Structure 1
Amino acid sequence: MTSVLSIDEQPLPAWQGRCDSALGWLIEIPSAIAVLAEVVILLVGIIARFVFNHPLVWSDEIASILFLWLAMLGSAVALRRGHHMRMTVLAARMPGRWKAFAEVLAIGAPCVFLVIMLGPSINYASDQWIVQTPVLGLHDTVRAAAVPVGAALMLAICAVRLMRHRARELLLGFGALALIALALYGARDLLANMGNWNLVIFFGLLLGGGVLVGLPIAFCFGLCTVACLLTTTTTPLAVITGQMNEGMSSLVLLAVPLFILLGQLIEMTQMAKAMVAFLASLLGHVKGGLSYVLIGAMLLVSGISGAKTADMAAVAPVLFPEMKRRGIPEGELVSLLAACGAMAETIPPSLVLIIIGSVTGVSIAALFKGGLLPGIVLALALAVIARRRTGDAAAEVPRASLNTVLRTLVVALPALVLPVLIRYAVAEGVATATEVSTIGIAYTVVIGLLVYRQFDWRRIYPMLVETASLSGAILLIIGAATAMAWALTQASFSQTLADAMARMPGGAYGFLFISVIAFVVLGSVLEGIPAMVLFGSLLFPIARQAGINEVHYAITVILAMGIGLFTPPFGLGYYAACTIGRVDPNAGLRRIWPYLGALAAGLAVVVAVPWISTGFL
C-alpha cells in the first residue's frame, strides 16, 4: 500500500511551486515516453519474429537500456507523488507534531541514502564505459547513467518536499538521523566483533523500526544495507549500486510496468465492467450471488492485470453500490474484497509470480500453469463462507432472463477472451511472460476502440505516468532488496538460516509449515514483493534440498504472503482494499477473520496436496 500522510505543512512560495512543477514535467514526460517506447519495441519484436520470421536482434538491447531509465525515472515520479511503499498505519495515528516528525524522517532518510550513494553511482556508471553491448556496440554507461541521474532528480525532489516543513521539524528529523549515525559509528568496533549477531541490529531493529515509523521500504532497505557495510566492512559502496543495477535490470521484470498499464487499460475500456455484468446476470439471484460475482470477477481480472490493486479498483466500484443496496454491510464487503485480493495472488499473470521467477530462476511459464488451480481452491473456500454471511442479500432479487444472460455474454465475450489469450500465448511459447503483456495491450486497445468504443485518448498520458510511478516504486524495492540480500549472503546469513530451517522436525512438511508462518509474518510487515525478493533466493535452495517441488513451494509461500498482506492490523493490502472501497478500516476488522480462516484452510489443502500446484506441469 502507498499513502501520503496528511500533516500541517507550510505552503510553498510561488518560486518553489514553479520548481516543483518543473521537476514534475522534467521526470514525467520522459517516464511516459519510456513506457510507450517499451510497449512499441516489444510489440514490433513479436511481429517481426512471428509474422515475418525476422527477429530484431537489437530490440532486447534497446529495451534493456530504456528499462533501467524507466525504473529510475519512475522512482523519481513515485517519490514526488508519494507512491513509494510505506507502512503508515502507526504514523497515521500519531498526534500532529509526531506525525510531522515521522514525515520528515520519511523524506530525510531517502535524502541521506541518496547523498551517500550519488558518488558511488557516478563512479559505477563511469566504470561501465569499457563494457559494450554485443549488437549495437553501445557503451554500458548509457544505461548505467540512469542510476546517478535518477538519484540526483530524487535528491532535488526531496529538497523541494523538505521546504514544506518548519525549521524545528527539520532539525528534529535530521537530528534523530544524525544521532543514529553517530551511535553506529561509535559502536563500529563492537558491531564488528559481534559477528553475524550485528545483523539483528541492522536488519532487525533498524529495519523494523524504520518500516514501523513509515520510512519508504525501498530506502529503508538501502539505508540499512549501507549502514551495515560502512560500520562492519571495508566493502566499497559501488557494490551496492552494482547489485541494485542487477536487481532492476532483468528484462523479465519489464512485465511489471506493462501489466500495470494493461490493468489500467481494461478499466478505461470497461472490459472489466462487461465481465462483471455477465457474472451478475448469471449469479446475481442466487443465495450469496453477488459475493460469488465478486470472487469470480477477481479471478478473471487477475488473469488480465497481474496487479492486485488494479484488480480491486476494477471490480469494487462496479459491484459495491448494488451490494450495499441489497443490505450487505460495508465491513463485510471490504473484508471479502481483501480476502479475494489474497486469494488471487497466484492467478496468472500475477506480478509476484513473475518476480519470484526472475529472482529464483523458476520457470515463469510453469508458475503460470501451477498458480491457477490453487487460486480456484481458495476461491471455493471463500465462496462457502460468503454464502453463509451474505446469502440473505439475494432475497426477492429476480432471476435474469435468458435473453439478458445471453446479451451480457455477447457483450463480455471480447473481454473474456483476453485472459485465455494471455495464458495460451505463454503456455504455447508464442510469447514470453514479458512479451505477452504487449499482446494484451494491443488487443485491449483494438477492442476498446472498435468494440466497446470506450477509449479516452486524454487519459493515455496520465496512465503512462501512473504506470511509470507504480513501476518505479516496485523496481526500486527490488533493487534495494537485491543489495540487501547480497549483504546478508556475504555475512553467511543464508547458510545460518539453512541450518536452522533444516533442523525443523517433520522433514519437507515441517519446512513448508515454518515457511508458511514466516511468509505470513513477512507479508504483513514488508509487503509482498520485497519479502519475495529478499527471502526467495535464500529459501528456494533449501526447499530443493528438502525434496519439495519448486513450483509447489513458490505457490505455497505466495499464498502465505498474500494472507499476511491482507491481514489487519499490519497488512497493507487490507488498507488498500479499504481505500479502494471507500470504507472505514474499522468496519472490517471484526468481519474479515472468517474469510481469512477460509483462506488458511484452503492453503492447508494446497500444502497437503502438491498435485494442486504441480498436476498440470
Structure 2
Amino acid sequence: MSDITGTNTLLVPVISPLSRFLTKITAILGGLSLFINVLVVFSSVIFRYAFHSPLEWAEEVARALMIALVFFGVATSSGRGGHIGIDLFLGLLPSSLRAYVVHSTRWILVFVSIGLVISSYDLVYISLEQTTETGMPLALFYIPVFIGAIVMFVATLEHVFQQEKKIVLRSGIGVLGLIVIGFTTYSLFPELESLPAFFMFACFFLGIIAGIPIAFTLGLSSMVFFLSNPTLPFVFFAQQVSAGVDHFVLLAIPFFLLAGSAMEINGMSSRLVEFIVRGMGRFKGGLNMTTVLSMAFFSGISGSKLADVAAVGGVLMPAVKRTKQSREDAAGVFAASAVMAESIPPCVNLIVMGFVANISIGALFIAGIVPAVCLLIILLITANIFGKKINVSDAYPVLMPKKQLILGAAVGLLMILMIGRGVVAGIATSTEISAFAVVYAIVVGRIAFRELTLKATIKLFIDMSAMSGMLLFIVASATSLSYALTIEMIPQKCADILVSIGTNHGAWLFLILSILILIVFGSVLEGAPALIIFAPILVPIAIQLGFHPLHYGIVMVFAMGFGLFSPPIGLGLYATCTICGVTMKDVMKPMLKYQMVIFVGIILVALFPFITTWLPNIMGY
C-alpha cells in the first residue's frame, strides 16, 4: 500500500519516531532470535551425532525462539510497510472512492493488531504460572506475541495517519460504521448459530476485494469469528495464531530463506547463474533456458519461490536488457519456471504440505524430483523453440575469470548436493539440514569469496527475520482461520460433498475438482494458506478414493503454484512483474505459451501417478 505524502496530521511527529524506535528493537530481537536458533539446531545435531549426547531441551528452545522470530519479524515488516495485498479489484472502483477504500484497509490492520494485543495479553497472563515439560516458563512462548502485536499496532497506526485528514476521518468512519452494523446484527440475533461463520466469510471476501494484505485478511476473519462466538473465549485467537508457528519442522522455512539469501550476498548465486549463461548461451533460446535451469537450482537452496524469482531475476534481468530480449517473455518464463520448481526440495510449500497433511516431508521431497524434472525438460524445449539466440559477450560484457567462475559454481552446487543427499539419505530432518545449509553458506561463502562482511551478515539476519516473520505470520493466521473452520464443521461438510462426488462420479472427477480449487484459491491466498486450509480436507478424501498421498500431495502443490503465478490475480505473478519491470497486462499474452505447457505437464503428472511414486518406492517410502 503506497503512502501519500503531504499529511497535515499532528499525530505523525509523535507516532513516527516511536514506530521507528520500536521497529529497530524488534528488528534486532528478530535477527538475534534467528541467529541463536541456527546455533541451537546446529549444535543439537553436532551433539547427537558427534558426541551421542542429544540436547533434550534444544527442540523446545528452538520452538520458543521460532515464535519470537515470527512475531518480532512481522512487527519489523509492519514497521517497514512490507505487507502486500491484491489491488486488482480496486481498479474497478471510481478513482474518487478508491483512495478511501485503500485507506480503510489501514484501519483494518490497526483493528486486527488491537485484537491481537488484547488476546495475547490474556494469553500471557494465563500462562504466567505454567511451565513446559522441561521446566521452561510457558509465558516465554507468548510474551513475543504480545510485544510484536504492540509494535504492529503502533506501526499500523503510523501508516493510518500518513494521509490527509479528510481521508483518515472518512475512511475511519466507514470502518467504524461496518463494525457498528456487525455489532447491531449480533445484538439483534444472538441466538443465530450461523452468525459467527457468516461474519467470518464476509470479512474474508471483503478483505480480498478491498486488497487487505493476505495475513491480515485471514487474521481478521478468524478474529471476528472468535469475537462473535459466545462459546469461545477471545484468548483462543492469540493462542491459535501462536500455535500455528509453534512447530519445529517449520523452522526449515526461515533457515532455507537465510541460506539462499546468504548465497546471493556472497556472490555464489551470481557466479552460478553466469556459469549457466556461458554454458547455455550458445543455444537458441539460451537465456530463457538459463532462467529455467537457474530457477531449478535455486529452488534447491532458498526454499521460497518468490525468493528464487528475486535472486535469479536480479542477476538475469540486466542481461536480458543488454541482449535486447523481451522482458515480458522473460517474465513469463520466470513465472512458469517458478511453478515447475514448486516440487523441487526444499520448497517451502512441500514443508507446509507435509506438516498439515501428516505426510513425511522427506518422502515429499523425493516424490517431487521426477515430476519437476519432467516439467523442466518440457520447459527447456519450449524455451528453445520460442527463444532467440544471444551473444554471451552482450549479456556479460565483462566476463568473470574462469577459475573464479568454476569455483563459485562448484561451491553453490556442492551446497545443493549436500541438501539433496541429506534429504534422500534421511541423515537428518529438513530443519536440521537447513541449519547446516545456513552455516555452510555463511562460513564457506565467507572463506571462498570474502564478500559477506560482518555488517552484511548482521543485516542479513535482520532482513531474513523480517521476511520470515511476514511469510510465517500468513501461516499463523491461516492456522487460526483453519481452527475456526473446523469449529464450524466446514471441512467435514466439504468432505462429505467431495466424497459423494468421488464415489458417485469417479475419483478422477474429484482430482480435477481438487486441481481447480487449488488453482483458484492458490491465486488469492498464496501457497501456505491454501494448503493449510485445504490439505487437511482433501488429502484424507484422496486416500479414501485410492490416490497415493505422495502423488496427490505433489499435484496439490503444483496446482496451488499454478494459481499463484497465473493472471489475473496471482500474487506470485505480481511479484514477478515487479522484479522484471513489466506490467501484468503486457505479460499475459507472451506468457500464455509457457503457462499452457506447464498446465499440460501438471495434468500429465496427475494422470500418471507412477511419475511421482516411482522414486519414493525405490527409496523405501
Give the TM-score normalised by structure 2.
0.92
Deviation of residue 185 (structure 1)? Answer: 2.5
Once residues 397 and 109 of structure 1 are traced to their aligned partners in structure 2, the CA distance between those partners, rounded to angstroms, is: 49
Residue in 2 aligned with 1:607?
606
Give matches, 1:15-30, under 5 Å: 15-30=14-29
Once residues 80 and 535 of structure 1 are traced to their aligned partners in structure 2, the CA distance between those partners, rounded to angstroms, is: 31
Residue in 2 aligned with 1:549?
548
| Secondary structure of 2:590's aligned partner | coil
Note closer, same or farther for the CA distance 1:296–1:52 as it changes in structure 2 (3 Å cut): same
Counterpart code for 2:298: V
Deviation of residue 509 (structure 1)? Answer: 1.6
Match 2:267 to one of 258, 265, 270: 270
Residue in 2 aligned with 1:320?
317
Give matches, 1:59-208, under 5 Å: 59-91=58-90, 98-135=97-134, 137-188=135-186, 199=197, 201-208=198-205
Once residues 347 and 580 of structure 1 are traced to their aligned partners in structure 2, the CA distance between those partners, rounded to angstroms, is: 22
| Secondary structure of 1:156's aligned partner | helix
Note closer, same or farther for the CA distance 1:379–1:93 as it changes in structure 2 (3 Å cut): farther
Match 1:444 to one of 425, 441, 444: 441
- Which shifted more, 521-530 or 380-389? 380-389
Q: Deviations over 1:72-96 (max 9, x none)?
A: 1111111111222422334478676
Asked if the contact 1:335/1:595 (under 8 Å) is kept, the reply is: yes
Q: Deviations over 1:214-268 (max 9, x none)?
A: 2122222122223234335432111222211211111111112111111110101
| Secondary structure of 2:414's aligned partner | helix
Residue in 2 aligned with 1:47?
46
| Secondary structure of 2:133's aligned partner | coil
Q: Deviations over 1:400-444 (max 9, x none)?
A: xxx998984454112111111012112223221111111111111
Once residues 528 and 191 of structure 1 are traced to their aligned partners in structure 2, the CA distance between those partners, rounded to angstroms, is: 36
Asked if the contact 2:12/2:158 (under 8 Å) is kept, the reply is: no
Point out where structure 2 has 5 or more consecutive residues left out of the alignment.
617-621
Asked if the contact 1:87/1:214 (under 8 Å) is kept, the reply is: yes
Match 1:243 to one of 240, 251, 266: 240
Once residues 204 and 108 of structure 2 are traced to their aligned partners in structure 1, the CA distance between those partners, rounded to angstroms, is: 12
Once residues 612 and 203 of structure 1 are traced to their aligned partners in structure 2, the CA distance between those partners, rounded to angstroms, is: 40
Note closer, same or farther for the CA distance 1:357–1:408 as it changes in structure 2 (3 Å cut): same
Residue in 1 aligned with 2:495?
498
Residue in 2 aligned with 1:386?
383
Asked if the contact 2:286/2:389 (under 8 Å) is kept, the reply is: no
Deviation of residue 539 (structure 1)? Answer: 1.7
Note closer, same or farther for the CA distance 1:183–1:279 as it changes in structure 2 (3 Å cut): same
Once residues 214 and 326 of structure 1 are traced to their aligned partners in structure 2, the CA distance between those partners, rounded to angstroms, is: 37
Once residues 552 and 309 of structure 2 are traced to their aligned partners in structure 1, the CA distance between those partners, rounded to angstroms, is: 26
Asked if the contact 1:425/1:431 (under 8 Å) is kept, the reply is: yes
Match 1:375 to one of 359, 372, 377: 372
Note closer, same or farther for the CA distance 1:268–1:406 as it changes in structure 2 (3 Å cut): closer
2:446 is aligned with 1:424:
no
Residue in 2 aligned with 1:299?
296
Counterpart code for 1:454: E
Residue in 1 aligned with 2:532?
533
Asked if the contact 1:184/1:231 (under 8 Å) is kept, the reply is: no
Q: Deviations over 1:4-49 (max 9, x none)?
A: 3253452786554422321222211111111111111111111111
Residue in 2 aligned with 1:216?
213
Deviation of residue 535 (structure 1)? Answer: 1.7
Residue in 2 aligned with 1:454?
451
Asked if the contact 1:191/1:232 (under 8 Å) is kept, the reply is: no
Give matches, 1:478-497, under 5 Å: 478-497=475-494
- Which shifted more, 316-325 or 563-572? 316-325
Asked if the contact 1:8/1:96 (under 8 Å) is kept, the reply is: no
Deviation of residue 328 (structure 1)? Answer: 2.1
2:340 is aligned with 1:360:
no
Asked if the contact 2:3/2:159 (under 8 Å) is kept, the reply is: no
- Which shifted more, 439-448 or 313-322? 313-322
Once residues 34 and 17 of structure 1 are traced to their aligned partners in structure 2, the CA distance between those partners, rounded to angstroms, is: 25
Asked if the contact 1:381/1:601 (under 8 Å) is kept, the reply is: no
Deviation of residue 97 (structure 1)? Answer: 5.2
Number of corresponding residues: 608
Note closer, same or farther for the CA distance 1:510–1:223 as it changes in structure 2 (3 Å cut): same
Point out where structure 1 has 5 or more consecutive residues left out of the alignment.
none
Asked if the contact 1:192/1:232 (under 8 Å) is kept, the reply is: no
Once residues 477 and 177 of structure 1 are traced to their aligned partners in structure 2, the CA distance between those partners, rounded to angstroms, is: 23
Give aligned-pair identity as a percent: 29
Asked if the contact 2:267/2:449 (under 8 Å) is kept, the reply is: yes
Asked if the contact 1:282/1:405 (under 8 Å) is kept, the reply is: no
Once residues 111 and 560 of structure 1 are traced to their aligned partners in structure 2, the CA distance between those partners, rounded to angstroms, is: 34
Note closer, same or farther for the CA distance 1:395–1:178 as it changes in structure 2 (3 Å cut): closer
2:471 is aligned with 1:474:
yes
Q: Deviations over 1:445-475 (max 9, x none)?
A: 2321222332233222222222111111122
Note closer, same or farther for the CA distance 1:278–1:593 as it changes in structure 2 (3 Å cut): same
| Secondary structure of 2:154's aligned partner | helix
CA RMSD in angstroms, aligned pairs only: 2.5
Asked if the contact 1:274/1:411 (under 8 Å) is kept, the reply is: yes
Note closer, same or farther for the CA distance 1:514–1:190 as it changes in structure 2 (3 Å cut): farther
Deviation of residue 396 (structure 1)? Answer: 11
Once residues 549 and 470 of structure 1 are traced to their aligned partners in structure 2, the CA distance between those partners, rounded to angstroms, is: 34
